[in-house]
Amino acid sequence: MKRVDLIGLTEACYRLDLDLRSWMRLLAGLMSPELDHGVGVVGWLMRFPSEFQVEPVGPAIVVDGPSDLGPQTQAMNSNLPPQAVRGIWFSGQPLAYGSEMPGMESAFRLGVIEEHRAMPSIDGLGFKALDGEGFAISFAGPSQHVRTTTAADRARWRRIAPHLAAGFRLRRRLDGARELESGAEAIFTPEGRCLDARGSATTADARELLRSAVRSVERSRGPLRRKDPEQALGVWKGLVTGRWSLVDSFTSDQKRYVVARQNAPSLRDPRALSERERQVVAFAASGEHNKLIAYRLGLATSSVATHLANASRKLKIRSRSELARLHAVNNSAAEVRKLEVGGEALAALVLPVNEARFDRAQVTQAEREVAEGILEGASNAQIASRRKTSVRTVANQVASILRKFAVGSRTELVARLASAVDR
């Protein structure tokens, strides 16, 4: 079976010399060895007014499939129920079959999938990348069989997603390749020699970091590309120190240079967090672990831990679960109610609980009470004391809840509980 050329796909993510549709067709073709199950690949762009709404951006492209696959796929995504939008697009998993996606059961139950089915397919493998600014690019291949992804598949494509997001974000900001060099902060030869630097790239430390990154990219394109493609992908970071994307630029005689262009996602946060802290917090709140955040932002894992610790101190939070709750608050999943206690005016933050959400996950009443305790930030011991049961029993109930909500941690569960509200 032909495998995806991981480095070729990564290189294509940064192709700015193609128009949007040609670029998407190129990417779909490169992904087809993994995504195509014999009925083609569809690619489309989405915009998210909120975590519960999704809107198509322009027509979809179809490679080696029926012409109605594109509009049917877009129509299906546009009509997904809110809980499916949140579960599918914000699950933190870039590669998954439809049958594996949280919230998809509601789409089947409401007939959305059947209504917009372009062919007799019962599943499909999808790959997505969110650019951090409210847009996403996605590719999928319908399947006539229910399948599951492997841990190795998910790990491999989790490293492709940051590059696709960075390339898409850069493309949205630039009008083709001609604008690339005009806004560059540094230009290097492929060997790592700095030809020009400006702005934040002028310091010796910045130039050395960029030089090292340029050399790492070149190493990934060498013999390592064929010998160990996954290791080659591992040395090509999504961003350099959370700031720069490295993109090839060619002169008229096809001489190649490497351009460092600022391309960090613009993440909103009203608190006194630094740009890097905002980025780390946003990805950590969605359930990503420090190692993946480090790869995405081109930082050391220790630096991610430091930024997260500094942000936690500023935000006065003690755990990732609290971070997920705060992230839900920032996304308007909570309300502030005014109270008066003993003549003193107080404000209470209320995270809504949707009854149907627990019904859909088929949790028991006891599990629901445990889940609500997790949402409040209580530990297993605190929940056990409140419910007059053992900590072991609570631990078993937590494991069952995580399985039923198809999440891997308390942080992801809190994000789901605090955010997945029908609108």
| CB-based contact 69:118 (threshold 8 Å) | yes
> Which of 318, 326, 370 shows the shortest CA–CA distance to 351?
326
Assess contact for 264 and 243: CB atoms under 8 A: yes
Contacts 24+ apart (CB under 8 A), 320-324: 320/284, 320/285, 320/409, 320/410, 320/411, 321/374, 321/377, 321/410, 321/411, 321/414, 322/377, 323/281, 323/284, 323/285, 323/411, 324/285, 324/287, 324/411, 324/412, 324/414, 324/415, 324/418
Strands 135-143 and 244-250: unpaired
Q: Which amino acid appears at position 390 of this protein?
A: S
Whether the CB-CB separation of 109 and 98 falls below 8 Å is answered with no
Among candidates 166, 201, 392, 198, which has minimal Cα distance to 296?
166
pLDDT of 382 reads 86
| pLDDT for the residue 194 | 96
Q: What is the pLDDT of residue 113?
A: 47
- What pLDDT sits at residue 324? 63
Predicted confidence at residue 278, as pLDDT, reads 80
What are the distances in angstroms from CA 4 to CA 35, 123, 232, 245?
10, 21, 13, 23
Q: What is the dihedral of CA 237, 239, 242, 244, to 10 degrees?
A: 140
pLDDT of amino acid 340: 53
pLDDT of residue 83: 65
pLDDT of residue 379: 82
Question: What pTM does this model have?
Answer: 0.71
Distance CA 354, CA 365 (A): 14
Q: How far is CA 410 from CA 279, 322, 350, in A?
A: 21, 10, 19
Q: How high is the mean pLDDT in each 10-residue block of the chain (423 residues)? A: 86 93 96 92 87 81 88 79 69 79 53 47 84 88 84 89 93 76 89 94 94 95 92 90 90 90 73 77 76 86 88 76 59 45 50 53 82 79 89 90 75 62 37
